[in-house]
Amino acid sequence: MEMNSAGIVRNAEERKAFYSKIDGAHLAPLWEVLKGLVPAEPRPAAMPHLWDYDAIRPHIIESGALLTAKEAERRVLVLENPALRGQSLITDVLYGGLQLILPGEVAPAHRHSQSALRFIMDGDGAYTAVNGEKTTMHYADFVITPAWTWHDHGNDSANPMVWLDVLDLSIVAHFHGQFREDWEEERFPVSRPDGDALARYGAGLLPIDYKPQSATSPIFNYPYERTREALFSMHRAGDPDPHFGHKLKYINPASGDWAMPTIATTMQWLPAGFATRPYQSTDGLGFVCVEGAGETRVTLPDGQVKIMTWKPRDVFVVPGWLPHTHHPASDTVLFGFSDRSAQEKLGIFREKRH
């Protein structure tokens, strides 16, 4: 038995009495909770999960008959991680949802402290307007709504349009930094032509006197056509990386950092028959299958392996620090999103390449 300097050790009951006594003074003993507060390694609460787009599309379309986009403000079905129901989280950190806009509808203009990305899943030709510039959206485009920018969405095409929304809601909520405002009209006035930002900032050039106004990329639509061409050229030019295949990160051209300050985004090409080597990282990962088919195998903490089989438009998540591998059956393109961008700024990102 250990003794203190006075040669006394209190028994369990005496300790409990002490805890009750200090409780009234809003004090609590650290040693009862220390191991939980400072664990040996990450223990994500989320679980790996896949949403089969073909299976959930009827629910998304039915929500269109339930209420208008205007009434809903944003007509979205939230992708709730099965282990985190009711918390509006797709991974431990990020929010994900599928937003529907029907032909002729407008989701009214507002702005908020949270950053959002849109990844286009279904339909073609609706637009998002960000601070007075409209961008027309096509399949697999990656579109950003930076924090505190006015944005409305509209659909002038003939078909329903669905995209994935990913927001840093819980990060901003953690710091209690949330603000939000509604614009008095449905649409924020358009002041620049479609494509203006991509021309100024997205050609490997920057305006001569450009000074960044925020931590977010000044490009707000990264068209899939360009991303695919880059990946395909890499695929033709050389061998894939054993852990990543051919993988590119979306960047802010003015800083070289991730395109968004809190959410990291990537696109990767995995050749048919290739299998990635096991990889784990502290960020909670989300994926959308853009092209191809295959499966992802995730090793759970109890040693069991969870297999998720994907095809185009399926959304799936791999919580942080779980080793996993991708197994494309045909040439595959995967979009990726995670909280890595925020973790790197806090100095807590880690990865292990097996």
| Binding region for ligand GTQ (CB under 6 A) | 74, 76, 97, 99, 112, 116, 165, 167
Strand partners, 129: 134, 152
C-beta of 30: minimal distance to ligand GTQ in Å? Answer: 38
C-beta of 116: minimal distance to ligand GTQ in Å? Answer: 5
The residue (of 181 and 225) whose beta carbon lies closer to ligand GTQ is 181
Buried b (16+ CB within 10 A) or exposed e, 31-45: eeeeeeeeeeebebe
Residues 6+ apart with CB under 8 A from 31: none
The residue (of 165 and 314) whose beta carbon lies closer to ligand GTQ is 165
Distance of CA 136 to the CA centre of its chain: 21
C-beta of 126: minimal distance to ligand GTQ in Å? Answer: 12
C-beta of 76: minimal distance to ligand GTQ in Å? Answer: 4
Distance of CA 205 to the CA centre of its chain: 27
CA geometry: angle 88, 216, 347, nearest 5 deg: 75
C-beta of 78: minimal distance to ligand GTQ in Å? Answer: 7
The residue (of 150 and 279) whose beta carbon lies closer to ligand GTQ is 150
Residues 6+ apart with CB under 8 A from 136: 125, 126, 127, 194
The residue (of 14 and 185) whose beta carbon lies closer to ligand GTQ is 185
Strand partners, 180: 112
| Nearest residue to the partner ligand GTQ, using Cβ | 165
The residue (of 154 and 294) whose beta carbon lies closer to ligand GTQ is 154
Burial class of 205 by CB neighbour count within 10 A (0 to 12, 13 to 18, 19+): exposed
CA end-to-end span of the chain: 43
Strand partners, 294: 310, 328
- Cα 100 to Cα 58, 63, 97, distances in angstroms: 12, 8, 10
Q: Which amino acid is at 230?
A: A
C-beta of 285: minimal distance to ligand GTQ in Å? Answer: 19
The residue (of 112 and 134) whose beta carbon lies closer to ligand GTQ is 112
The residue (of 99 and 280) whose beta carbon lies closer to ligand GTQ is 99
Residue 116 and residue 122: Cα distance in Å, rounded? Answer: 18
C-beta of 10: minimal distance to ligand GTQ in Å? Answer: 52
Q: What are phi and psi of 86, to 5 degrees?
A: 85, -5
